[in-house]
Chains A and B, each alone.
Chain A
Amino acid sequence: SENLESLSQAMGIMQHHDAVTGTEKQAVARDYDRMLFKAIVGAESNARDALRSLTNLTSGEFESCLDLNISACAFTQSTANNVVVTLVNPMAHASTQYVRVPVKNENYIVTDEKGREIPSEVVPVPWQVLALEHRSNGTQHELVFRASVEKVANFLIRVLPSPKSVVKNTAQFPQEKAIDE
């Protein structure tokens, strides 16, 4: 309850017009950042407890990656193991959405709870989006697959030992420049 109350309070403060529009002082922006980060991390343990109860993965870490929006995830970067991604749909109706998970450039297979293979592909993140001169990032690719979720759904991302088949599926324009490079 303490964790949820803390997140509730932080979200309440974030309704202030300065937080919505970004017209707060820089020091206040940093304080909002600190407050919201602390509240989210606290509430992650509630989510973990709930998901351990809602699934049969009783020892699951159920970690969040708060940098997914910038194509970075420490969890998938650090592990060479198979990973389960648990999707929670916060809407009041079923939804189908494409999911992007930052990964290394490996050969993966994605399966749903019934063991059925879900079509997926590994897409390179363009270098300018990675902004490598501004941050380090070991996950320079994203695994993309389509997921249909009613409320909670699990998908297993398995690393295959076989080498990735080399398919050239990028092209650069104008062509002359690509040849020069």
Chain B
Amino acid sequence: TDELIVENSLVKLTFDTTTGGLKTIEMNGIREDIHQSFGIYKGFRGNNGEANNRSSGAYVFRPDGDIEVLSSNQVDLTFYNGTRVKEVYQQVNEWVSQVIRIYDEVNRVEFEWLVGPIPADDEVGKEVITRFSSGIASKGKFYTDSNGREMLERVRNQRETFDPNMSEAISGNYYPVTGQISLQDDEKRITLLNDRAQGGASLNDGELELMLHRRLLNDDAFGVGEALNETQFGTGLIARGKIYLILDEASEKPKHAERLLQHELDQHFWKFFSKSNGVPSVN
């Protein structure tokens, strides 16, 4: 068939088997068309002589042109149908892949991404993002956490207290995301929770994106004095991490479940291993 449906008692995912991409998500009694893609921003390379000639580097994100979307072509798809966990493996290209999983009785979707080594043979630095696109009419508004604490409202191309120069419209709309980023309309709300500090934005209504991995070939002259080009293994780093997605009804305040999940992500169980033929008891 041209659709792969992956579901448990709480979550239903639909994939397009011809493109390999995610099509819809159903959970909490809500259904939404959500398309996920991966993309590359080419890092600007300048001589750092003037502000408009500054390179993209460790401190500054300056894309050279618009995004190049990776997943528009065929994505290889493999499905593992377990009883407690169901997993979909997506191979986007040689150095971008992902596992999408749902656990039984868990009300969220897990995206475990793997990016790298980012090729630099073409002498172009690359900044890799993932983007979730939906039909939610967010009207330019989205929300990011304040260093893990309260959620702050962000408005695209605006600042709260001054008129910004938005000549760099992509990076000018990026905000730090250390816990979660969300958007909503009157009915639906999408929240992405991450496992590390990342940059994030909503460049179009209904869209959320997160920066996953960067490899850049120039220093940005903001102090570090070297390019963000980690080559200690000869080829560049492989980064692996998780994003959790919750689709729920709209709410004026962050949901309890989202806040609880954020704590669980930061403070998951510590695991210790011992050899034993019997199970010890806790005193």
Give chain A's interface residues, CB within 8 Å of chain B: 20-26, 29-30, 47-48, 51, 53-57, 60-65, 68-70, 73, 75-76, 79, 81-91, 95, 97-99, 101, 111-113, 115, 119-121, 123-124, 126, 128-129, 131, 134, 144-147, 149, 151-156, 169-174, 177
Q: Give 16 A-B pairs besides A65-B273, A173-B20 with Cβ atoms closer than 8 angstroms.
A: A22-B58, A25-B224, A26-B230, A54-B282, A55-B282, A90-B267, A90-B269, A90-B270, A91-B267, A95-B264, A126-B78, A128-B89, A129-B97, A152-B282, A154-B279, A171-B78
Contact of A83 (CB < 8 Å), options: B87, B235, B273 = B273
Indicate if the CB atoms of A87 and B273 lie closer than 8 Å.
Answer: no
**Which residues of B line the A interface, CB within 8 A?**
4, 15, 17-18, 20, 58-59, 76-85, 87, 89, 91, 97, 99, 103-106, 112, 114, 117, 197, 223-226, 228, 230, 232-233, 235, 238, 240, 263-264, 267-283
Q: Is the interface of A mostly helix, strand, loop or mixed?
A: mixed
How far is A95 from B114 in the complex, measured between Cα atoms in Å?
Answer: 28
Among A60, A75, A123, A169, point to the contact of B276 (Cβ < 8 A). A60
Known: A153-B282, A170-B81. A101 touches B271 (CB 8 A): yes
Shortest distance from the beta carbon of A86 to any chain B beta carbon, whole Å: 4
Contacts of B281 in A (CB 8 A): 55-56, 113, 154
Q: Once the chains bind, are B272 and A156 in contact (CB under 8 Å)? A: no
Q: Which of A83, A119, A146 contacts B274 (CB 8 A)?
A: A83
Contacts A56-B283, A170-B78 given; does A26 touch B226 at CB 8 Å = yes
Known A-B contacts A144-B82, A153-B282; A128 and B114 likewise in contact (beta carbons under 8 Å): yes
Given contacts A22-B58, A128-B114, contact A83 B276 (CB under 8 A): yes
Contact, CB under 8 Å: A111 / B279: yes
- Whole-angstrom CA separation of A86 from B276 in the bound complex: 11
Contact A51/B272 with A84-B279, A113-B279, A121-B82 known, Cβ cut-off 8 Å = yes
* Distance in angstroms between the alpha carbons of A17 and B249 in the assembled complex: 36
Q: Are A84 and B280 in contact (CB under 8 A)?
A: yes
Q: Is the CB of A123 within 8 A of B269?
A: no
Given the interface contacts A83-B276, A126-B97, A129-B114, does A91 sit within 8 Å of B271 by beta carbon?
Answer: no
- Beta-carbon contact of B280 and A95 below 8 Å: no
Which residues of A sit under 8 angstroms from B91, Cβ to Cβ? 128
Q: Which of B18, B103, B270 contacts A98 (CB 8 A)?
A: B103
The 3 A-B pairs at the shortest CB distance, nearest first, are namely A60-B274, A57-B280, A156-B279
CB of B89 within 8 A of CB of A21, answer: no
